[in-house]
Amino acid sequence: MNDATRFMMGIYQVSLMVRDTLEYVQGRPEHDVNFYNQRKQIIAHGLEDGSPLSHFLSQNGEVGEKIRTNLNDFVEFAYSDQSTYITIENGKIIVDHAQDLKALDFIVGLRETLIDIIKKYIEKAKETQSAEASMENMIALDDAFYRILSSLIVFDITHKEFVEFNKAMHDNDGKPSPQSNFVINDMKRLVGYTKFIHEHADKNDAVYEEAYQQNFTCLNYMEGSKPLPNNNGLKGEIDAVHANYVKILSEREYPWRNAYTSIWNELVGYEQGLRQARVQQNTNNDQGESN
Region class of 27: left (phi > 0), else alpha (psi between -120 and 50), else beta: left
Residues 6+ apart with CB under 8 A from 169: 175, 176, 177, 180
Measured between alpha carbons, how far is residue 8 from residues 3, 53, 82, 88, 175 in Å?
9, 9, 30, 32, 53
Distance CA 224, CA 217 (A): 10
Distance CA 155, CA 235 (A): 13
From first to last of its 291 residues, what are the pLDDT tens digits of the chain?
999 999 999 999 999 999 999 999 998 889 999 999 999 999 999 999 999 999 999 999 999 999 999 999 999 999 999 999 999 999 999 999 999 999 999 999 999 999 999 999 999 999 999 999 999 999 999 999 999 999 999 999 999 999 999 999 999 988 989 999 999 999 999 999 999 999 999 999 999 999 999 999 999 999 989 999 877 799 999 999 999 999 999 999 999 999 999 999 999 999 999 888 888 777 666 666 655
Burial class (CB in 10 A: 0-12, 13-18, 19+), 68: middle
Residue 95 pairs with which residues in a beta bridge? 86
pLDDT at 219: 96
pLDDT at 281: 74
Fold of domain 132-266: Four Helix Bundle (Hemerythrin (Met), subunit A) (1.20.120)
Distance CA 228, CA 226 (A): 6
- Count Cβ atoms below 10 Å from residue 209 Cβ, excluding itself: 15
Are 211 and 248 a contacting pair, CB within 8 Å?
yes
Distance CA 67, CA 162 (A): 33
Nearest CA-CA partner of 14 in 49, 52, 50: 52
